[in-house]
Structure 1
Amino acid sequence: MHSLRELQAAFACAILEQDSSRIDGSVCGGNGRERLSVYAGNVYHNLREALRAVYPVVDKLVGEGFFDYAANRYIHDHPSQSGDIQRFGYTFPTFLEHFPPAASLAYLRDTATLEWLVHEAFHAADHAPFPLSLLSNLASAECATLRFELHPACRLFESAFPVLNIWEVNQPDAMSDEVVNMDAGGDRLLVRRVGFAVDIQALTAAEFGMLQALHEGQSVEDAYDRALRCDPAFALGEFIERRILDSTIVDFDL
């Protein structure tokens, strides 16, 4: 007699492998192969559509047939590890990087990564605005030791490809004749949720360095040093003010 857990594990494996011989025939009853194919078809379809919802630009770039082929392989090789469907597909960009049929599309991994970050930012936790009254009570001498906290719905991403332009020209409302200049250079991006939408901002090297350092938990002083290495004219006060007002920075500690 198998335990319920063992039966569930065997059934899940049979669905992913689409192989009815992996389970006892009594589980599916008569016509086990036909019954299993119905379950497997529904599971693969639902997971493919979950991936397509997160990666619409990738879908558009490679075409429906290619996307379905890649998605089926991904579902088989990387079964969901969570009961939350919103978490499924977070390793899809890495999968695409090593997927032989996509080898000629060097930009595909980073494009997919940007799409995942958009998805992740949309579903991230919210946070109250920055407590300005608390900051005003701090002595100016303490400011260098502050460690600012970024909003939970903020993500930072750096790519060697013009992924923002790739993402923009493949949006539903984009002009169909727009062409991406792949020689335009890479992007440093801030992905953040604003209200009920996700905004993607291009950053300078100094802005990106500053935010990345703050995200890593570094002090304002150390983060500022990183920004200055990119741009000796970097205006710290203006940057901090702008990022507090747009809720990129939402809290701090000493």
Structure 2
Amino acid sequence: MDLAQWRTQFIAGIQAVKQDLAPDVPSQQPRFAVYRNNYQQALLNVLAATYPCCNKVVGETCFSFIGRRYIANYPPISANLNQYGAAFDRVMAELTAEQEAFAALPYLEELARLEWYVYQSYYAGEACSQDWQILPQLTQKEQHQIRLVVAADVYLMQSRYPIQRIWQRHQQSGVDSTAIIDDEVSYPLVIYRVNGNIIVKQIDMATWQLLHLAQRQSLLGDICAQHSIASQITAAIENGWIVGIESSGGCDV
């Protein structure tokens, strides 16, 4: 066995949940078990830091079980662990569908997705606001050919449950997950950063649709054809969700 093969099997042995998945690695040796345990504990710590609210809702023991399941199915593909955990909501969805014990927590999938967006928003790059005085100087045809630029820290989601309440309670004193299931309505949410603090805010559907279309790089003319958005654009600019405009060619106007 050459060095490259040994290295591959060594890594496979560390990542393997079952020790016999790395047959040519001395997986039974206590020293190797230390590598495996340290590896898994490091990833569990990353998941717990990224999903603190989910951790409190299900409890540390249960979260550790879920985390190990996630690690087994989604090993890191990058040395940058800041991006690890993106598919955690999928595991939550599987558990709520498979395990009767999670039947009372149907919102776990969406809560996990919210926490991932919170995490991504916190580490997103800073946005540079544009001088909006140029907009009135454009002809109507030119205005229809521009795109609205959404700040990098802005994330959108719609939830079937008022998960922002659980998240906000967690920020204050802890998690109280009782009475979480309301009427079956949609909760349009925007996640964004202000002075280093993350805000999760429920907004009206018209504003949510505007930001959603802007993130999809729809032309302003196409957006206006579908919605009356004058007041929504003003609010989005004032809140720092929309930070500029660019031509359809991708250049700042």
TM-score band w.r.t. shorter chain: 0.7 to 0.9
What residue in structure 2 maps to residue 249 of structure 1? 242
Distance 1:248 1:21 in 2: 48
Amino acid at match of 1:63: G
Distance 1:190 1:40 in 2: 39
After the TM superposition, which residues 116-195 of structure 1 pair with which residues of structure 2 at under 5 Å, given as runs? Answer: 116-171=116-171, 173-174=172-173, 179-184=178-183, 185-195=185-195
Q: List runs of 5+ in structure 2 lacking aligned partners.
A: 248-253
CA 1:143 to 1:11, structure 2 compared with 1: closer, same or farther past 3 Å?
same
Amino acid at match of 1:81: I
Q: Tell me if 1:37 matches 2:33.
A: yes
Q: Tell me if 1:79 matches 2:75.
A: yes
Q: Is the 8 A contact 1:148 1:252 kept in 2?
A: yes
CA 1:34 to 1:207, structure 2 compared with 1: closer, same or farther past 3 Å?
same
Q: Tell me if 1:46 matches 2:42.
A: yes
Q: By how many angstroms is 1:177 displaced?
A: 6.3
Q: Provide TM-score, normalisation by structure 1.
A: 0.85
What residue in structure 2 maps to residue 110 of structure 1? 110
Q: Is the 8 A contact 1:57 1:170 kept in 2?
A: yes
Q: Deviations over 1:157-178 (max 9, x none)?
A: 011111111212233x237768
CA RMSD across the alignment? 2.4
Amino acid at match of 2:217: G
Moved more, 129-138 or 208-217: 129-138
Q: Is the 8 A contact 2:66 2:91 kept in 1?
A: no
Moved more, 116-125 or 212-221: 212-221
SS at match of 1:170: helix
Q: Deviations over 1:173-207 (max 9, x none)?
A: 23776844411433101111222121111111111
Q: Is the 8 A contact 1:147 1:219 kept in 2?
A: yes
Amino acid at match of 2:213: A
Q: Is the 8 A contact 1:149 1:214 kept in 2?
A: yes
After the TM superposition, which residues 60-75 of structure 1 pair with which residues of structure 2 at under 5 Å, given as runs? Answer: 60-75=56-71
Distance 2:175 2:57 in 1: 13
What residue in structure 2 maps to residue 97 of structure 1? 93
The total of aligned residue pairs comes to 241
Q: Provide TM-score, normalisation by structure 2.
A: 0.85
CA 1:180 to 1:143, structure 2 compared with 1: closer, same or farther past 3 Å?
farther
Q: By how many angstroms is 1:118 displaced?
A: 0.4
Q: Is the 8 A contact 2:132 2:244 kept in 1?
A: no
Percentage identity across paired residues of the two chains = 24
Distance 2:231 2:21 in 1: 66
